[in-house]
Amino acid sequence: MRIIGPDELVFGVDDLDACRQFLLDSGLIEAEWSAAGGTFVGLDNTGITVRARDDASLPAALASGATIRQTIYGCEDQATVDAIETELGRDREVVRSPDGSITCSDDVGIALKFQVTKRKPFTAPPELVNSPGAAPARGFNVVGANEDAVAVPRTLSHLVYFSPDMDKQEAFYVERLRFVVTDRFTDVGPFLRPAACTDHHTLFMVQTPPHMQGMEHFAFHMQGPTELMLAGTRMLNKGWESFWGPGRHKFGSNWFWYFNCPLMTHFEFDADMDLHDDEWVPRETDVGAPSAQMFLFEGVEKWFPSGPPPEGEDHH
Amino acid sequence: MTAPLAQVADIEDGHSKGFDPLGEGRDTMFIVRRGEALFGWRNACPHYDHARMAWKKDEFLTGDRARIVCGAHGAQFEIDTGLCVLGPCLGDRLTAVALEVRDGAIFLAAPYAPGLRPRMGRAHH
């Protein structure tokens, strides 16, 4: 089944204006906005839709009150959508829309939609790094540090559910939708990628009690570590609350920076994730601070080594 | 602490405000004001150790300002009791920060422990 990955996540929120400001400040592009909410996308047209929590057009909310209302997957072609309809139609209601997309729920009640992907092909330069011993990636007189650089998230990278039954949910994505397990945190959850995707993960899940069901975070890929740092610094400067990062994960190797967010889930900038094919042998380890990251830093105010402290400065 | 955290009038009625009493570089507590009543809580969600709660600087409340909300995963808490009534840490409580008001100024009423994780290689005392 040629599922590429998440095209769009749909949320039902309490404060639409705060969500809009957060998503704009993250660098996402406002594709649509009205009193009913709107959609914000990355360079490839994948993105986030926010509506009011009580919007009747949204799929039903989870009992936990979580804001995530629907996960929309993009498929390579209509044949894949049709194959999913046939497969899942065997044991649950699958509703087909006139545009050929289908909606249903996974085995723990997450509302899903499958469609021919709305991703738009795009090309954009990579982060160019000069490394001694290798040919220069950035040529002569090309300046690397541009504080005013535009930093637009490129594509919706992955999402992470709090799952009331990790084994059941994993089995659904692996056995029914042919996702592949790339790595695993023992007793916590698997990292999964769909068949038409080579990213280390587009889906992860964390086993939790039922009352916690919802979304731990979602992430967008940035150009590279520098753009991630720039985008995260801009969020700090605008008053948004850093939750974890910047740092670099071990599984997936992606750089990360998580922020609290008025969508009431974490928003993650990520960059430079590992790619895998079917030759990859999954790893497994216990999760904890040492295994979750290679290193972790925290943003502080800008500083410059010069002169003595000003008179009367309060030192804590 | 000898210096006040703030004046009561600095906090808009019905709103919240974050504070960093030890100058750690992040708000490690917050106060919610309801009329003359003040409720002080650590900026630490009981869901995860050391989890910051604001969804933006000084924003610790739901849109209708009826409850405290954690910007990490949307857990909601009663403003006056700190009890989690919805979300991941259901039934758990926020950690209270005792406050004292003198002449319209807000002071910490008890010793205050650091709120951030220790720097690499340096445990908290």
The CA distance from B91 to the nearest CA of chain A, in Å, is 11
A204: domain CATH number?
Answer: 3.10.180.10
Close Cβ partners of A90 (under 8 Å, ≥ 6 residues apart): none
Whether the predicted pLDDT of A315 surpasses 70: no
- What is the number of structural domains in chain A? 1
pLDDT of residue A300: 84
Whether the predicted pLDDT of B1 surpasses 70: no
> Does A170 touch chain B if contact means CB atoms closer than 8 Å?
no
The reply to whether A175 falls in a domain is yes
The CA distance from A104 to A15, in Å, is 27
The CA distance from B125 to the nearest CA of chain A, in Å, is 15
Listed in order, strand segments (DSSP E) in A109-241 are 111-116, 155-163, 180-185, 189-193, 203-207, 214-221
Domains of chain B with bracketed CATH: 6-108 (2.102.10.10)
pLDDT of residue A313: 59
The CA distance from A156 to A168, in Å, is 25
The CA distance from A160 to the nearest CA of chain B, in Å, is 12
The percentage of chain A sitting over the pLDDT mark of 90, rounded to a whole number, equals: 92
Q: Does the bond joining A282 to the residue before it have cis omega, within 30 degrees of 0? A: no
Whether the predicted pLDDT of A118 surpasses 80: yes
DSSP track, A96-138: EPTTS-EEEE-TTS-EEEEEE--------PPP----TTS--SS
> Does B1 touch chain A if contact means CB atoms closer than 8 Å?
no
The reply to whether A311 falls in a domain is no
Close Cβ partners of B123 (under 8 Å, ≥ 6 residues apart): none
β-partners of residue A272 are none
Whether the predicted pLDDT of A57 surpasses 50: yes
Q: Which candidate from B23, B62, B87 shows the least CB-CB separation from A316?
A: B23
**pLDDT, tens only, B33-52:** 999 999 999 999 998 888 89
Test A260 with B25 for CB contact under 8 angstroms.
Answer: no
Q: Which pLDDT band holds residue A308 (cuts at 50, 70, 90)?
A: confident
pLDDT of residue B125: 46
The reply to whether A127 falls in a domain is no
Q: Which pLDDT band holds residue B123 (cuts at 50, 70, 90)?
A: low
- B59 touches B6 (CB < 8 A): no
> Does A163 touch chain B if contact means CB atoms closer than 8 Å?
no
pLDDT mean over A147-163:
97
Amino acid type, A168 = K
Test A241 with B69 for CB contact under 8 angstroms.
Answer: no
The CA distance from A199 to A219, in Å, is 13
The reply to whether A250 falls in a domain is yes
B51, closest residue in chain A (CA to CA): A243
Close Cβ partners of B102 (under 8 Å, ≥ 6 residues apart): none
Test A14 with B62 for CB contact under 8 angstroms.
Answer: yes
The CA distance from A189 to A207, in Å, is 6
In chain B, which residues have their Cβ closer than 8 Å to the Cβ of A300?
25
A56 class by beta-carbon count within 10 Å (0-12 exposed, 13-18 middle, 19+ buried): exposed
Q: How far is CA A274 from the centre of its chain?
A: 15
Q: Which candidate from A239, A266, A300 shows the least CB-CB separation from B72?
A: A266
What's the Cα-to-Cα distance from A105 to each of A91, A121, A186, A279, B78, rounded to whole Å?
11, 29, 26, 31, 33
Test A239 with B56 for CB contact under 8 angstroms.
Answer: yes
Test A211 with B55 for CB contact under 8 angstroms.
Answer: no
The percentage of chain A sitting over the pLDDT mark of 70, rounded to a whole number, equals: 98
> Does B87 touch chain A if contact means CB atoms closer than 8 Å?
yes
In chain B, which residues have their Cβ closer than 8 Å to the Cβ of A262?
55-56, 59, 71
In chain A, which residues have their Cβ closer than 8 Å to the Cβ of B69?
264
The reply to whether A139 falls in a domain is no
Tell me the HSE value of A65 on the side-chain side, using a 13 A CA sphere: 15
Test A264 with B51 for CB contact under 8 angstroms.
Answer: no
* Segments forming the whole domain that contains residue A176: 3-118+153-296
Q: Which candidate from A65, A241, A243 shows the least CB-CB separation from B74?
A: A65
Which site among A161, A264, A294, A295 would you substitute to test the B interface, given the most B Cβ atoms closer than 10 Å to its Cβ? A264
**pLDDT, tens only, A261-284:** 999 999 999 999 999 999 999 999
Q: Which candidate from B56, B64, B74 shows the least CB-CB separation from A264?
A: B74
Test A239 with B88 for CB contact under 8 angstroms.
Answer: no
The reply to whether A305 falls in a domain is no
The reply to whether A130 falls in a domain is no
Q: Which pLDDT band holds residue A19 (cuts at 50, 70, 90)?
A: very high
> Does A214 touch chain B if contact means CB atoms closer than 8 Å?
yes
Whether the predicted pLDDT of A202 surpasses 90: yes
Test A214 with B71 for CB contact under 8 angstroms.
Answer: no
> Does B95 touch chain A if contact means CB atoms closer than 8 Å?
no
The CA distance from B102 to the nearest CA of chain A, in Å, is 23
The reply to whether A304 falls in a domain is no
Above 0.85 for ipTM, yes or no?
yes
Q: Which candidate from A67, A211, A240 shows the least CB-CB separation from B74?
A: A67
CB atoms near residue B113 (< 10 Å): 11
Test B87 with A239 for CB contact under 8 angstroms.
Answer: no
- B18 touches B68 (CB < 8 A): no
Test A65 with B62 for CB contact under 8 angstroms.
Answer: no
Whether the predicted pLDDT of B120 surpasses 80: no
- A97 touches A103 (CB < 8 A): yes
Q: Average pLDDT over chain A, rounded to whole? A: 95
- B116 touches B107 (CB < 8 A): no
Q: Which of A168-177, A227-236, B18-27, B94-103 has the lowest mean pLDDT?
A: B18-27
Whether the predicted pLDDT of A314 surpasses 90: no
